[in-house]
A and B are shown apart, each in its own frame.
Chain A
Amino acid sequence: MFLAIIMFNMIINKTKKMFEDNNNSGSLSKLSISEAPSPGDPKYEETKQELKETIYDCIKTIKDPEKPATLEDLKVVYEDGVQIEHFKPSDVSLVRIEFNPTVPHCSLATLIGLCIRVKLQRNLMEKIKLSIFIKKGAHDTEAEINKQINDKERVAAAMEVPSLSQLVEQCISEDEI
């Protein structure tokens, strides 16, 4: 009987502790949510800048489909081309990337757009909604290409074409040039 009471107490205490632990972790997670920076907060700008840099770091090493150089080397992508339009820490942010094809009739502009989209889709941990655009006036068929690289159905289908997906894989692989 006595033993039973002790055990009962033990269980009660254990349950109590579990409750406390739960509450603690609950308040902890609340704390971290309230700590998520809001606009105006210097931490907000800092996190936003971090996202921008992460995205840029991801795309700058994409290899040009033709030349033995990266998109950064060729100034096809540049840090200012990455715009965080609607930044929401710990939620979906809207990102706009502008790129500048080397020549106005560059036939590989679509492929470059495809590489940017696929590489970010695969490597970025943060949740984003991405729009990609050619720098205004930088390409003869700018509107056409913009429409194509922002149509996710076209992108998905393109990535199932072996010859095309192979090209993309080569451009976005992380090995040395």
Chain B
Amino acid sequence: MFNIGTSDHIMSQTTPLQTLKGHVGRVWSVAWSPTGTMLSSCGEDKNIRLWGKESFGTKFTAKAILSDCHQRTIRETAWSPCGNFIASASFDATTAIWDKRSGQFECNATLEGHENEVKSVTWSKSGQFLATCSRDKSVWVWEVGEEDEYECGAVINAHIQDVKKVRFHPHDNILASASYDDTVKLFKEDLSEADWVNFATLKSHTSTVWSLAFDRTGTRLATCSDDQTVKIWKEYRPGNSSGIPTPDGDAVWKCVCTLSGHHGRTIYDISWCHSTDLIATGCGDDAIRIFKESTNHSSGDEVSFDLVHTVHGAHAQDLNCVAWNPMVPGMLASCSDDGEIKLWQFKLDTL
């Protein structure tokens, strides 16, 4: 069963590898472990499921169910860069930390503070920080201390509506957030004030920004929205060759590409692969779409991306999350309102 699509001179192919069943009700999110060998998933049934392989080449199977820690929907899970911890964000207003150092994952800390639903959680590359966001409009940055201590380092009230997603920069201590207020904001640590400050606000989407993803260099950001578009933003540092002014010595982010006309409904998630540079989106029209940067059209600051593949009916209902495997190029995980998780292998051949 193959799904073959062509666009200009690019031939692509998406092979469904596996369907992982077990969750009851909507699956909100999937996340790969840093080595790409384990997948965590969560959703409406308040359980986290862990999936892994017995040995190389075999299929993914259910490994563990982490339960009894959250009272409501678990919206998202995130693996620490060392792979020893999983953080889970829940509609019950808490974030739980699961620790594997004893051999299996156990909930050893619960971070409280948000007034209502925690919607997203992310670890910094260094593992030093954890960030969460909520319908209460705030973004919290937690400092990860020794001996399982998590101290709230900053409460940032920069957005004027719910904050839907937080993601750390792939290298630096820079945090990005996407909101129901239609904007994306970037924050950095202000060492003199020992606080986190909002240094850039990315305005261009005309409705809720549901998700965002940095590219491997961290100099570009892809965002997806209820306005059915994807936008690519580029960083301009002080002294950039394009002559873009950078007031206050902070980097400036500008929208350099808008992908419209491809998606039929809200785009709930976006993933930018750090090995193949491909962008995948998960949409409310049940499709997965794959975009690749065009090599011939990009000139100067403008960039363009081609839709190289669409998997129509990837799931029976809305897709909520897509995630490229960090180690296996072209392997993508997706999950949906239909209660299923699917694994795909995407192949791209330039003719």
Q: Given A154-B162, A156-B73, A160-B73: A129 and B26 within 8 A (CB)?
A: no
B72 at the interface (CB under 8 A from A): yes
**Complex-state Cα separation, A147 to B44, whole angstroms:** 22
A147 to B208, CA, bound (A): 9
Q: Are A156 and B26 in contact (CB under 8 A)?
A: yes
- Chain A residues positioned under 8 Å from B26 (CB to CB): 156
A152:B73 contact, CB within 8 angstroms: no
Report if A157 contacts B (CB, 8 A). Answer: yes
A147 to B225, alpha carbons, bound, how many Å? 13
- Taken residue by residue from 11 to 38, chain A's Cβ proximity to chain B (1 for < 8 Å, 0 otherwise) reads as 0000000000000000000000000000
Classify the interface of chain A: helix, strand, loop or mixed.
helix
Provide the residues of chain B in CB contact with A129, threshold 8 Å: 265, 284-285
Rounded to whole angstroms, the CA-CA distance of A127 and B318 in the bound complex is: 11
Say which residue of B116, B180, B285, B316 sits within 8 Å of A151 (CB atoms): B180
- How distant is A127 from chain B, measured CB to nearest CB, in Å? 8
Chain B residues near A152 (CB-CB < 8 A): 318, 337
Q: B91 an interface residue at 8 Å Cβ cutoff?
A: yes
Contact with B along A128-163 (1 / 0, CB 8 A): 010000000000000000010001111011001000
The answer, among A147, A151, A157, for a CB contact under 8 Å with B91, is: A157
Q: Which of B52-85 contact A (CB under 8 A)?
A: 72-73, 75
Among A25-78, those with CB < 8 Å from B are none
The answer to whether A7 has its CB under 8 Å from any CB of chain B is no
**A160 contact set on B, CB distance < 8 A:** 72-73, 91
Question: Closest CB of chain B to A84's CB: distance in Å?
Answer: 16
Q: Tell me, in angstroms, the Cα distance from A5 to B72 when the chains sit together.
A: 65
B-contact bits for A160-171, CB 8 A (1 contact / 0 none): 100000000000
User: Once the chains bind, are B207 and A153 in contact (CB under 8 Å)?
Assistant: no
Partner pick for A92 among B117, B226, B286, CB 8 A cutoff: B286
Q: Is B289 on the interface with A (CB-CB < 8 A)?
A: no
> Does the CB pair B73–A157 fall under 8 Å?
yes
- A153 proximity list for chain B (CB < 8 A): 75, 119, 164
| Closest chain B CB from A166 CB (angstroms) | 15
What number of A-B contacts does a CB cutoff of 8 Å give?
A: 32
Which bracket fits the contact residues of B?
A: 20 to 34
Q: Tell me if B265 and A156 are in contact (CB < 8 A).
A: no
Of residues 1 through 59 on chain B, the ones whose CB sits less than 8 Å from some CB of chain A are 26, 44
Tell me the smallest distance from the CB of A160 to a CB of chain B, in Å. 5
Query: Binary interface profile of B, 162-187, with partner A (CB < 8 Å = 1, else 0)?
Result: 10100000000000000010000000
Q: Is B135 an interface residue (CB 8 A)?
A: yes
Taking CB atoms, residues of chain A closer than 8 Å to B135 are 154, 157
B70-109: which residues lie under 8 A (CB-CB) from chain A?
72-73, 75, 91
Give A25 Cβ to nearest chain B Cβ, in Å. 21
What is the CA–CA distance of A157 and B44 in the complex, to the nearest angstrom?
10
Bound Cα distance A28, B19 (Å): 29
Query: How close is B149's CB to chain A, nearest CB, in angstroms?
Result: 29
> How far does the Cβ of A36 sit from chain B's closest Cβ, in whole Å?
16
CB-contacts of B251-292 with A (<8 A): 265, 284-286
Interfacial chain A residues near B117, Cβ < 8 Å: 157
User: Given B44, B162, B317, which contacts A156 in the complex, CB threshold below 8 Å?
Assistant: B44
> Looking across the interface, which residue of chain A has its beta carbon closest to that of B44?
A156
- State A157–B70 Cα separation when bound (angstroms): 14
Cα of A154 to Cα of B73 in the assembled complex, Å: 12
A127 to B135, CA, bound (A): 29
Q: How far is the CA of A6 from the CA of B11 in the complex (A)?
A: 55
Task: Give the CA-CA distance A122 to B180 in the complex, in Å.
Answer: 26
Q: A127–B338 Cα gap in the complex (Å)?
A: 11
CB of B207 within 8 A of CB of A147, answer yes
A contact residues around B91 at 8 Å (CB): 156-157, 160
A76 to B317, CA, bound (A): 29
| Nearest chain B residue, comparing its CB with the CB of A148 | B180
* Separation of A154 and B135 alpha carbons in the complex (Å): 9
Return chain A residues, CB-CB under 8 Å to B73: 156-157, 160
Other 8 A-B pairs with CB < 8 A, given A129-B285, A157-B91: A92-B286, A129-B265, A129-B284, A151-B226, A154-B162, A157-B72, A157-B117, A160-B73
Write 23 A-B pairs (CB below 8 A) sorted by A numbering: A92-B286, A127-B316, A129-B265, A129-B285, A147-B207, A147-B208, A151-B180, A152-B318, A153-B75, A153-B119, A153-B164, A154-B135, A154-B162, A156-B26, A156-B73, A157-B72, A157-B91, A157-B116, A157-B117, A157-B135, A160-B72, A160-B73, A160-B91
Q: Which residues of A contact B (CB under 8 A)?
A: 92, 127, 129, 147, 151-154, 156-157, 160
Nearest 8 Cβ contacts at the A-B interface: A160-B72, A157-B117, A157-B91, A160-B91, A160-B73, A156-B73, A129-B265, A151-B208
